[in-house]
Amino acid sequence: MKATAGIVRLVLGLAVIFALVSTSASSSSVSAGDVKALVSGNNAFAFDLYSVVSSRDGNLFISPYSISSALAMTYAGARGNTAAQMADALHYDLAPEQLHESFSALSRLFNSGGKTYRLSVANALWSQMGLSFLPEYISMAEKHYDAGLKEVDFVYRTEEARSAINRWVEDKTEGKIIDLIGPGVLDPLTRLVLTNAIYFKGQWEQQFRPEQTEEAAFYLSSGKQAIVPFMHQIGTFKYAETGSTQVLELPYSGNELAMTVLLPKPDSSLAELEAAIRTDGIEAILETLSPTRVDVSIPRFKFEAELSLSGYLQQLGMIDAFDDNIADFSGISDTFLYITHVLHKAFIEVNEEGTEAAAATAVVVGTKSIRLDLPKVFMADRPFVFLIRDVRTGSILFMGRMADPLSQ
């Protein structure tokens, strides 16, 4: 018979992006092969997740890295079929110890900072005071995720606990993610909340001049038009195209992070692009990017996105973790635990200076050579897909769809 039922919830919040930076991902105890395998798996998960959430209408923005990182802390305590399903759905292809060490190496890289940008990742564990967790689990979280244990009272001071967690998230995301965990998410049966926050801010390597920004029509998928401000410049950027898609990489200052924009050609559609997105296909396209003179016009935009991920993760095969009869998180505590919600909140703003982005995930457990010919024209006046990548490792930190620049 199972013990008192527990809950696991995940909430992700994301903000704005302004520049990309450089750092070296080195670790004395982690092989480059392991980190590469983790990045490959995380990116595969990013496209798998995008493929299911893209069924939603409108703008879309997620931080697959934040989601994967928070769930990795949960996975560390999963056992049996629950662990097997999570590993398969999340593309955790390394042995557990190598997986967690590789996440730690990536986190150290992202947190190493630079002079031209800010990129940081933070984790924390919030536990019910007095509850006993397996010491090896707490040790793992502290060692690999720098997730210090913070005791709160979910039973009698639920709202205070929620406020404390939300304040932490707001602080770690420079005020971009507010109220990550909404009212009613936590309750007296909550036993553990695992939070991950990622924040990035920087400037474009080649900034857009505000005086060149002009209003023009953006053609929505519905056939309607929206008059929005378009940023414009002609420069040399990494560029490629297939029969149906134009791909442009806009580097952030430092040339270590970049926004990659995938724009369907006029005779194609966003739906066709999204249906064709696969990790291998994207990687193949990225390998063909080459310095090209491009006439760039992209809309200025800012929006917030919020969605529940529980059902989408189950579509990807992560079933048992949400089942209150068979979930197995016995590597966390002797108390029976299962996941009830995985919530995601995100915000992004792109302007002439650059981008700023922040994301936060909380798992709640309870019981990119100038040519002389004419430049390529990249007019993003229709819905497109975009990625924000760490070009040093290839990690997809953020991913989204711009469907309507006027929708916030």
271-280 confidence digits (pLDDT tens): 999 988 876 6
Residues pairing with 401 in the sheet? 60, 385
- Classify the C-alpha dihedral 134-136-137-143 as positive or negative: positive
Contact 408, 304 (CB under 8 A): yes
Q: How far apart are CA 177 and CA 9, in angstroms?
A: 17
Residues 6+ apart with CB under 8 A from 278: 47
224 and 278 assigned to the same domain: yes
Amino acid symbol at 59: N
Identify the pLDDT of residue 364: 67
Q: Lowest-confidence range among 39-53, 219-233, 348-362, 393-407?
A: 348-362
Same domain, residue pair 54 and 189: yes
- Residue 176: count other Cβ atoms within 10 Å of its Cβ: 25
- The answer to the question of residue 144 being in a domain is yes
Domain count, the chain: 2
Q: What is the pLDDT of residue 80?
A: 98
pTM, two decimals, is: 0.87
Asked if pLDDT for residue 47 goes beyond 70, the answer is yes
Residue 244 lies in a domain: yes
Looking at residue 31, which CATH number applies to its domain?
A: 3.30.497.10
The better pLDDT of the pair 136, 192 is held by 136
Q: Give the C-alpha separation, 146 to 160, whole Å.
A: 24
* Closest alpha carbon to 398 in 353, 350, 333, 362: 350
Distance between CA 16 and CA 56 in Å, rounded? 21
Choice among 19-23, 125-129, 348-352 with the minimum mean pLDDT: 19-23
pLDDT tens readout for residues 165-181: 999 989 998 888 898 89
Residues 28 and 154 in one domain: yes
Please indicate, yes or no, whether residues 294 and 360 belong to a single structural domain of this protein: no
With beta carbons less than 8 A apart as the criterion, state whether 199 and 176 touch: yes
Report yes or no on 407 lying in a domain. no
19 in any annotated domain: yes
pLDDT confidence band for 22 (50 / 70 / 90) = very low
Rounded to the nearest angstrom, the gap between the alpha carbon of residue 192 and the centroid of all alpha carbons in its chain is 22
Residue 100, pLDDT above cutoff 90: yes
Joined tokens for residue 50: 């995008």
Domain membership of residue 408 (yes or no) is no
Inside any domain, residue 4 = no
Residue 333 reports pLDDT greater than 80 = yes
CA-based max dimension of the chain: 75
Residues 8, 365 contacting (CB under 8 angstroms): yes
* Same domain as 331, residue 384: no
Q: Are residues 179 and 220 in the same domain?
A: no
In terms of residues, how long is the chain?
408
Share the mean pLDDT of the chain: 86
Give the residue from 398, 324, 5, 321 showing the smallest Cα distance to 188: 5
Q: Among candidates 99, 91, 100, which has minimal Cα distance to 46?
A: 91
Q: Do residue 270 and residue 192 come from a single domain?
A: no
Does residue 384 carry a pLDDT above 90? Answer: yes
Q: What is the mean pLDDT of the segment spanning 216-244?
A: 95
Same domain, 282 and 390: yes
Alpha helices by DSSP H, listed for 263-338, are 270-276, 279-287, 310-315
Min mean pLDDT across 13-27, 112-126, 390-404 is at 13-27
* Long-range CB contact pairs, 231-235, < 8 A, 24+: 231/296, 231/297, 231/298, 231/299, 231/300, 231/351, 231/352, 232/208, 232/295, 232/296, 232/297, 233/206, 233/208, 233/209, 233/296, 234/293, 234/294, 234/295, 234/296, 234/375, 235/206, 235/293, 235/294, 235/296
Same domain (yes/no): 393, 265:
yes
- Asked whether residue 271 is domain-assigned, the answer is yes
3 in any annotated domain: no
Q: pLDDT value at position 285?
A: 85
d(C-alpha 13, C-alpha 343), whole Å = 9
Segments forming the whole domain that contains residue 89 = 9-203+302-366
Residues 337 and 293 in one domain: no
How far apart are the C-alpha atoms of 145 and 123, rounded to whole Å? Answer: 6
Extract the tokens encoding 11: 């909430």
Per DSSP, 338 falls in state: B
Residues 105 and 168 in one domain: yes
Q: Do 281 and 322 belong together in one domain?
A: no
CATH number at residue 219: 2.30.39.10
